Chain A
């Protein structure tokens, strides 16, 4: 009996303290807000927002609701995070491998990059890429065309827009190719396990992913044309490009700084992972006759990934949370649009900040869960 009580009491105490502290703050906040005539409630989310946003993935203008503005900000945050994570991962893997290169120049260059970019505060880097690059970029009327169709200007990067005919046929052909590849991989694995024969899965996959969409062009009636941006004059010295797709410089600067910064940390994770695999593993694999490619693919990488994934997950989370620095350079992310403009226009500080916090929490936990699932999948499965 005594023993049980000992187990329960500390836990009961902890729970009571937590509840009391929360209760105290909620109570105080309630009294204070009541005294100052501030209502609490989430009803404002359905009201008309009456402000516009520079850049949005979904249709939005000031006649939509605050909730819609929230979605706009959320999608912009997700957009910059996803692009950032992809670029940072690719760059990080390349630099991480480069740091282990026997080539002196490549090795030192990678080391310099890592030490330089990870040791400067991110906000400064964002300002640098935004304001320094802004001043360095030409005005629209002075911009030289890149490949005749891209224009990099102070007002953004203008790229041609694709105009598709029968896009669904093209899309289906890609889906078909992916399904075919999965089927072949499963089949190849079975053949190898049963008969020891190897099928060149990689070459077949490459062939499929090119040939099926190509067929859709040739016989599926898929067509594609480009809408090239055209210079338009607004005033004597004021120009803009019309048509095509424009990527605002805020998005470019933010993605660039986030990926360059985070890639340095991922590079170190990758280096640690590869170095963490014992030398004997490689030698043993080579001695049983595996080719260098097979050594990397079947022996080194599966072990290295186990070391790489957990710290890299942290970097993905950091990148997502760091994207909230966007507010400094006018990229309309969740913090700028919702916790900024919407908060100001409605004055609903507690509601909006709580929604924003909950949203970041959800985003981070989703990334964590995904990475943990992947980590579990590649972990050692003892048989």
Chain B
């Protein structure tokens, strides 16, 4: 009997531990993502498994890309160092679960902003860092130069778990074309299968097509068709329910875009402190108390510009200079004929 009494005691202890654990996690929940990030000392950022120009790791494990730069900007603002980011590569399928379950705090992974994603699954989109649209890639030798030449029986390779799958159906249905969707879990397998000749066309966001084309065995054999069949505004996403964190991520991105608008670069940011333009002075922290609203110091935006650069620098470094999409198209500032337009930082 005593033997079991002992077991009973240890059980009671175990149950007690379980309950303290519960109350602890309840308390932890109330604290903000910001507090946790500062405590950990790094920003937890979800990125793609390798999309040149957006988020791609080199052989040494250094991540680069415009999506990566958003997380770096947040790290610069919150922690003072753009390198204090822990990147988690995620498949299209895993990404939202990783964010909602709290494994990452920012999802910056060429993710399309849609109503259902924003409203349904506990996510909040904070902005757009790349305006994209779905397109089709075909082999040059096929002689196809427009989607109007597609015929019944065409096979299309793509990724699962993306808006691409839905757009593809809408597109082929509206044209009345019967097609064979071949959907893979990872982008590398899509490219390999299309490259081998399994599919007649490869469809995803045009930026993705341009980036993946560089991975083909012979990039010159493939062309991206001119038609754009959908709107794909890509941007960073945060968990719902932490509006301070949401604002920090939103305004880190906005700062990069506005800095370009005012001609502030990583090279001249310090000199801009003495500018005559109050808008510029506010962005480099020489005027106003903008950081206070997020619980940050006043140099948060200056650090973003100095350490990561403005949006134009990021685009040039990651997308234009790498030959993926030299032409900025819609991703040019509104003052230069594009649609990049952010609310003023004041």
| A interface, CB within 8 angstroms of B | 2, 5-6, 9-10, 13, 16-17, 20-21, 24, 27-28, 31-33, 35-38, 50-54, 61-62, 131, 134-135, 139, 154-155, 232, 234-238, 240, 242, 248-250, 327-330, 332, 336, 340-341, 343-347, 349
Asked whether any CB of chain A lies closer than 8 Å to the CB of B18, the reply is: yes
Are B143 and A236 in contact (CB-based, < 8 A)?
Answer: yes
| One of B67-75, B195-203, B309-317, B338-346 contacting the partner | B195-203
Are B241 and A344 in contact (CB-based, < 8 A)?
Answer: no
Known: A36-B239, A341-B183. A336 touches B153 (CB 8 A): no
Asked whether any CB of chain A lies closer than 8 Å to the CB of B33, the reply is: no
Tell me, rounded to whole Å, the shortest Cβ–Cβ distance linking A159 to chain B.
Answer: 17
Are A38 and B122 in contact (CB-based, < 8 A)?
Answer: yes
Known: A36-B100, A51-B166. A347 touches B154 (CB 8 A): no
Residues of A contacting B: mostly = helix
| B interface, CB within 8 angstroms of A | 1, 4, 7-8, 11, 14-15, 18, 22, 25-26, 29, 92-93, 96-97, 100-102, 117, 120-122, 138-139, 141-144, 149-151, 153-155, 157, 160-162, 165-166, 168-169, 173, 179-186, 189, 192-193, 196-198, 200, 239-241
Are A52 and B143 in contact (CB-based, < 8 A)?
Answer: no
Are B22 and A235 in contact (CB-based, < 8 A)?
Answer: no
Are B198 and A28 in contact (CB-based, < 8 A)?
Answer: no
Are B153 and A139 in contact (CB-based, < 8 A)?
Answer: no
Of the A-B pairs whose beta carbons lie under 8 Å apart in the complex, a sample of 6, sorted by A's number, is A240-B155, A328-B184, A340-B185, A341-B161, A344-B162, A347-B96
Known: A155-B198, A237-B143. A51 touches B165 (CB 8 A): yes
Are A36 and B241 in contact (CB-based, < 8 A)?
Answer: yes
Are A54 and B183 in contact (CB-based, < 8 A)?
Answer: yes
4 closest cross-chain pairs (CB), A and B: A347-B121, A344-B161, A236-B143, A36-B122
Known: A28-B25, A330-B184, A341-B161. A37 touches B143 (CB 8 A): no
Inter-chain CA distance A259–B93, complex, in Å, is 28
Please, which residues of chain B bring their CB within 8 A of the CB of A9? 4, 7-8
Residue of B96, B150, B183 most packed against chain A (CB within 10 A): B183
Residues of B contacting A: mostly = mixed
Please, which residues of chain B bring their CB within 8 A of the CB of A349? 96-97, 100
Contact of A52 (CB < 8 Å), options: B142, B150, B169, B197: B169
Contact of A50 (CB < 8 Å), options: B4, B97, B169: B169
Inter-chain CA distance A146–B15, complex, in Å, is 69
Inter-chain CA distance A131–B96, complex, in Å, is 30
Known: A10-B7, A17-B14, A330-B182. A38 touches B100 (CB 8 A): yes
Closest Cβ neighbor of B185 among chain A residues = A327
Tell me, rounded to whole Å, the shortest Cβ–Cβ distance linking B181 to chain A.
Answer: 5
Closest Cβ neighbor of A339 among chain B residues = B93
Tell me, rounded to whole Å, the shortest Cβ–Cβ distance linking B46 to chain A.
Answer: 15
Are A54 and B180 in contact (CB-based, < 8 A)?
Answer: yes
Tell me, rounded to whole Å, the shortest Cβ–Cβ distance linking A268 to chain B.
Answer: 32
